[in-house]
């Protein structure tokens, strides 16, 4: 009788941190050296890397050429990308042995890329090509750690990261297979793995969508029940407003999971919105840190929030508002269901909802099926559409017993026409729908009233 299925891990992952570095943090040889300095402190950790900045976009361009059977265009792009990597390697490695090993590794990988120019090109090939960015960055970086004499190992994400038939992560599979990979590689200090890439239910190479490396880090943190998940970028945490439109924004030191989720979804580009849920479900704190200023506090996202404090403002562009007004809604039941079903049938998610006794307004950010939706809605009443709108989302600890917060927020917007207002879906957010042209004014008015 066999007693053990696979060797249980002796690594205590509960004391481990998962650190994710984005594309710009590993965007050059110099930046990779900085990351190595940051992580080589003797503590055992898992490090998730994105592709070097620009690489995923280049791989998409290469795929576009190959889709269109423009082989010479595709090959030209592949060669240009390879040259970039040759330069990175020449700058990164010092010893001839490591240099030549690195050159050999990337040569193999680029040969593989070139082989796609000879095959039929489908979504399947495209996804395999997109995966090469993270495979490149992690291979090079781990070899560099070898050169530094650091005890490290590569954990192949394609062996443990998996999505199910609904493209949702298969968390049991991930936990089991990641544990297996870790146990096979015991005795190392730093475990490097690829963000973004995974396999799907058919075992094919797939990915967690653009920007998905944050999600990888969070899923990995959840799978190993890590002590903390750190997302390293090049700004000092989530800011209390959008620095592109408002001067003097400040990083927010502490955010509740719910606050961070709203901010990430409604506009803060620093963190992918999907990243919050796995961490929240497993109560693992997420820290946003800055590679350019590693000792800065950044933002700590956890179950803690600052009681009664309004923390931040974010904006989401490209919103369409749809109002359905009907005398028949009065005292009727089932009206909202019928309205929502129409959006569902066109696979169009709704962001905001506001109701009155005679009508309902909803907002959507995907207006691909707008015409069909509006046509179907017309059978319930008069339909009005407002395009080029923006959701302004105010985030903070705002339970309803806490009087006055809404008055403060609303009065900050006293000069701005507001199309919809929504509060009560959570204690952590109030949202406003306004015209795009008023966005900058609204963001500045809110910062002035709430944070100065």
Please name which of 82, 75, 35, 19 lies closest in space to residue 55, comparing C-alpha atoms. 82
3-class DSSP assignment, residue 243:
coil
Q: Quick one: which of 16, 39, 46, 51 contacts ligand ASP (CB under 6 A)?
A: 51
CB of 334 to ligand ASP, least distance (A): 42
**Token output for 94:** 């010092």
Where along the sequence are the contacts to Mg ion (CB under 5 A)?
Answer: 22, 211
On the CB side of 402, CA atoms within 13 Å amount to 14
Stretch that binds ligand ASP, among 106-114, 154-162, 205-213, 381-389 (CB under 6 A): 205-213
Question: For residues 246-275, which are near ligand ASP according to CB under 6 A?
Answer: none
Q: Which is nearer to ligand ASP, 21 or 266 (CB)?
A: 21
Site size toward ligand ASP, by CB under 6 A: 12
Question: For residues 150-189, which are near ligand ASP according to CB under 6 A?
Answer: none
Q: Which residue is nearest to ligand ASP (CB)?
A: 213
3-class DSSP assignment, residue 166:
coil
Q: Which is nearer to ligand ASP, 195 or 251 (CB)?
A: 195
Q: Which is nearer to ligand ASP, 213 or 320 (CB)?
A: 213
Which partner from the list ligand ASP, Mg ion, none does 195 bind, CB cut-off 5 to 8 Å by kind?
ligand ASP
Non-local CB neighbours of 29 within 8 Å, separated by 6+ positions: 87, 88, 89, 91, 92
Q: Quick one: which of 13, 24, 25, 50 contacts ligand ASP (CB under 6 A)?
A: 50
CA–CA separation, 174 vs 164, rounded Å? 11
Please name which of 305, 214, 303, 315 lies closest in space to residue 253, comparing C-alpha atoms. 305
CA–CA separation, 195 vs 205, rounded Å? 13
133 binding ligand ASP? (CB under 6 A): yes
Binding mask 365-404 for ligand ASP (x = CB under 6 A): ----------------------------------------
Which partner from the list Mg ion, ligand ASP, none does 249 bind, CB cut-off 5 to 8 Å by kind?
none
The long-range contacts involving 157-160, CB below 8 angstroms and separated by at least 24 positions, are: 157/193, 157/194, 157/195, 157/197, 157/198, 157/216, 158/131, 158/194, 158/197, 158/198, 158/199, 158/205, 160/223
Write out the residues near ligand ASP by the rule CB under 6 A: 22-23, 50-51, 56, 133, 195-196, 210-213
């Amino acid at each position: 009788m066999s007693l053990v299925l696979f060797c249980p891990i002796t690594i205590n992952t509960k004391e481990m941190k998962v650190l994710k570095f984005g594309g710009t943090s590993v965007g050059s040889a110099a930046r990779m050296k900085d990351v190595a300095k940051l992580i080589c402190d003797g503590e055992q950790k898992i490090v998730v890397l994105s592709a070097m900045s620009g690489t995923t976009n280049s791989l998409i361009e290469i795929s576009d050429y190959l889709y269109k059977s423009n082989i010479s265009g595709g090959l030209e792009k592949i060669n240009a990308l390879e040259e970039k990597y040759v330069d990175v390697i020449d700058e990164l490695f010092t010893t001839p042995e490591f240099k030549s090993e690195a050159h050999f590794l990337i040569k193999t990988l680029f040969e593989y890329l070139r082989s796609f120019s000879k095959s039929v090109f489908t979504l399947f090939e495209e996804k395999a090509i997109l995966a090469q960015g993270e495979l490149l960055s992690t291979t090079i970086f781990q070899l560099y750690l070898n050169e530094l004499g650091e005890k490290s190992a590569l954990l192949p994400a394609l062996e443990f990261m998996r999505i199910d038939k609904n493209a949702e992560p298969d968390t049991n599979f991930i936990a089991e297979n990641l544990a297996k990979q870790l146990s096979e590689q015991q005795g190392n200090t730093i475990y490097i793995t690829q963000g973004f890439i995974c396999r799907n239910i058919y075992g094919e190479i797939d990915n967690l969508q653009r920007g998905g490396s944050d999600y990888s880090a969070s899923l990995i943190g959840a799978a190993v029940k890590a002590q903390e998940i750190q997302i390293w970028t090049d700004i000092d945490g989530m800011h209390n407003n959008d620095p592109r439109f408002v001067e003097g924004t400040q990083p927010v030191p502490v955010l509740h999971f719910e606050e961070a989720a709203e901010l990430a979804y409604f506009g803060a580009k620093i963190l992918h919105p999907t990243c919050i849920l796995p961490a929240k479900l497993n109560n693992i704190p997420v820290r946003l840190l800055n590679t350019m200023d590693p000792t800065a506090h950044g933002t700590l996202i956890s179950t803690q929030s600052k009681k009664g404090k309004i923390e931040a403002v974010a904006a989401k562009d490209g919103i369409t508002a749809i109002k359905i007004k009907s005398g028949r809604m009065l005292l009727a039941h089932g009206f909202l269901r019928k309205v929502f079903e129409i959006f569902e049938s066109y696979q169009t998610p709704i962001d905001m909802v506001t109701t009155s006794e005679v009508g309902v307004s909803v907002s959507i950010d995907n207006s691909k099926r707008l015409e069909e939706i509006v046509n179907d809605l017309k059978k319930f009443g008069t339909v009005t559409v407002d395009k080029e709108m923006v959701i302004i989302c105010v985030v903070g600890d705002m339970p309803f017993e806490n009087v006055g917060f809404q008055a403060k927020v609303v009065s900050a917007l006293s000069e701005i026409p507001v199309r919809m207002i929504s509060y009560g879906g959570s204690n952590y957010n109030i949202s406003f729908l306004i015209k795009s042209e008023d966005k900058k004014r609204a963001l500045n008015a809110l910062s002035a009233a709430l944070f100065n």
